[in-house]
Amino acid sequence: MTTTPGTDVPLLELSIGSPAHGGHFVARHEGRVVFVRHALPGERVLARVTDGGGDAGFWRADTVRVLEPSEHRAAHPWQAAGALLAAAAGRAPRGGAEFGHIGLEEQRRIKAAVFSEQLRRLARVERAVEVEPAEQEHDGGLGWRTRAGFAVDAAGRLAMHAHRSEELVPVQQMPLAVDAVNELRLWELDLAGVARVEVAAPANGTVPLVLLIPEAGTPPRRLARVAAALAPEGERPVSVAVWEPDQARLTRLRGRTWVQESCGAHQYRVTGEGFWQIHRQAPEILTGAVLDGVRPEPGWHVADLYAGAGLFTAPLAAAVGEGGRVLSVEGAAGTSRDARKNLHGAPQVDIVQGKVDRVLRSQFPGRRGGSGARLDAVVLDPPRAGAGRTVVHQLHALRPQVIGYVSCDPASFARDLGWFLSLGWELDSLRVFDLYPHTHHMESFASLRPPAG
Ligand SMILES: C[S@@+](CC[C@H](N)C(=O)[O-])C[C@H]1O[C@@H](n2cnc3c(N)ncnc32)[C@H](O)[C@@H]1O
């Protein structure tokens, strides 16, 4: 083992093995597992240890030089996020494109292998999966992010965190973002007094929203100056608002405090930091997967859990018609208010704000937190942590004909699936989508059928 020049950080020469969940690849050094980033299976690399010590069970390391490259290694489409260039320049790469060194098809093969491995380990399911690309791939997996979050460095410049680090590095163009994000040229602003900037630029071309999250004590006139510089009179319209998460306070500076999203025939208002799918094509792709997998019929009673601003609630309501019911449950107060506005014309929809387990308990009282009330189908789309054991047991007790599970994390999905299977449920259809090209993330949809009888 050598060390990084000028430091005592260990530098390892490693043979890279299979991919692991989280964007790492597995290697071994003197019997110890090392999770290596920015590498590819079959490669021989020099990697700098970023995390680990003598008694650590495993280490983490970042590739700094490739000694024997894989045939799937590609030029990173975002220079600032490329690990090798960054290492050669003695700086850390920007986060957010940790698979950019891999050809797009190989990225999907790796994601499929990771998904299958999670199914095998956590749900005891042997199933080969294929990761489906989003439709528009002629753009090399770029220009898809309609949401982007930035930090601000000590000099008031737009910045991002280095990969898995607190270190801030200034940024300019973000190639993964849609043009409307880059056209704001946020990197030209003096952002002193601002801690974070969040941008939402709807794929339908409507007015983008920039949220300024201030540092404590920043005077309002400083933020007003940023807003004025961001949207000079007469130029392309942009909304600007101040978001103070501690007080849950959203203050309009210009334009409006929300964006107008759309999917199919449905319109959605999404306020402030409210959730909306990030990839420009994700709303259509996921809505299609949900409707194909659940096949809601007129008159059905359906629950849309973790419903956000109602992306799936609206098409489910259209499918069940006024003779059916849709219970739409969202935890965040502002997003739930959006859902209420978005669905106000659908009398068959009940919008309920609250945590899913509590709402299920109150809406379907009965032993073991469920049963007694009719529910034909459930759609759930939990955050990265998954639904968890309590909700799985509640849904089991409600015994719908079908459950449609949308997930952005293969590990928590496989864990929840394992619990459903142990209760007698069957995994019916399963689709995995590459809605986060050049990152290790993926999105999936699964339909589950209840135990016979
Ligand atoms: C992955 S998003 C899905 C939103 C929506 N289905 C969509 O596609 O636009 C998950 C949503 O669940 C909400 N959420 C997180 N934990 C929750 C909980 N325990 N109960 C209810 N909602 C929750 C979040 O606020 C977020 O809006």
Residue 408 annotated as catalytic = yes
How many angstroms separate the alpha carbon of residue 133 from the centre of ligand 1? 24
Give, using CA atoms, the residue closest to atom 18 of ligand 1: 355
- How would you classify the pairing of strands 19-20 and 239-244? unpaired
Atom of ligand 1 nearest to the CA of 379: 6
What does the pLDDT read at residue 344?
96
CB of residue 388 inside a 6 A radius of ligand 1:
no
| Higher-confidence position of 51 and 99 | 99
CB of residue 22 inside a 6 A radius of ligand 1:
no
Residue 173 known to bind ligand: no
What does the pLDDT read at residue 234?
65
How many angstroms separate the alpha carbon of residue 323 from the centre of ligand 1? 26
Could you give the dihedral angle defined by the CA atoms of residues 259, 151, 38 and 52, in that order, rounded to the nearest 10 degrees?
Answer: -130
Confidence band for 372, pLDDT divided at 50, 70 and 90? low
Confidence band for 1, pLDDT divided at 50, 70 and 90? low
Atom of ligand 1 nearest to the CA of 408: 1
What does the pLDDT read at residue 91?
78
Determine the Cα–Cα distance for residues 223 and 217; give it in Å rounded to an integer.
Answer: 11
Atom of ligand 1 nearest to the CA of 306: 12
Give, using CA atoms, the residue closest to atom 12 of ligand 1: 306
CB of residue 405 inside a 6 A radius of ligand 1:
no
Average pLDDT over all residues of the chain? 93
* Domains of the chain and any CATH numbers: 2-97 (2.40.50.140), 147-201+208-255 (2.40.50.1070), 279-449 (3.40.50.150)
CB of residue 355 inside a 6 A radius of ligand 1:
yes
Residue 436 known to bind ligand: no
Query: In the predicted model, is pLDDT for residue 369 greater than 50?
Result: no
- How would you classify the pairing of strands 209-214 and 402-407? unpaired
Mean pLDDT of 158-167: 82
pLDDT tens, 409-452?
Answer: 999 999 999 999 999 999 999 999 999 999 999 999 999 999 98
- What is the distance, to the nearest Å, from the Cα of residue 354 to the centroid of all Cα atoms in its chain? 21
| Higher-confidence position of 362 and 55 | 362
Residue 139 known to bind ligand: no
Atom of ligand 1 nearest to the CA of 329: 21
Identify the CA nearest to 331 among candidates 389, 388, 259, 383. 383
Determine the Cα–Cα distance for residues 234 and 218; give it in Å rounded to an integer.
Answer: 27
What does the pLDDT read at residue 98?
94
CA-to-CA dists, residue 61 to 13, 29, 35, 56, 443, angstroms: 11, 11, 6, 13, 26
pLDDT tens, 308-322?
Answer: 999 999 999 999 999
Confidence band for 165, pLDDT divided at 50, 70 and 90? confident
DSSP for 18-45, written as a single string: -EETTTEEEEEETTEEEEEES--TT-EE
How many angstroms separate the alpha carbon of residue 160 from the centre of ligand 1? 25
| Higher-confidence position of 81 and 244 | 244
pLDDT tens, 185-227?
Answer: 999 999 999 999 999 999 999 999 999 999 999 999 999 999 9
How many angstroms separate the alpha carbon of residue 308 from the centre of ligand 1? 5
- What is the distance, to the nearest Å, from the Cα of residue 148 to the centroid of all Cα atoms in its chain? 11
Structure tokens at 315: 């098409």
Mean pLDDT of 121-150: 90
CB of residue 335 inside a 6 A radius of ligand 1:
yes
pLDDT tens, 22-73?
Answer: 999 999 999 999 999 999 999 999 999 988 877 888 999 999 999 999 999 9
Confidence band for 81, pLDDT divided at 50, 70 and 90? confident
Residue 118 known to bind ligand: no
| Higher-confidence position of 137 and 425 | 425
Q: What percent of the chain has pLDDT over 70?
A: 95
For the entire predicted model, the pTM comes to 0.95
Q: What percent of the chain has pLDDT over 90?
A: 83
- Cβ neighbours, 10 Å, residue 1: 9
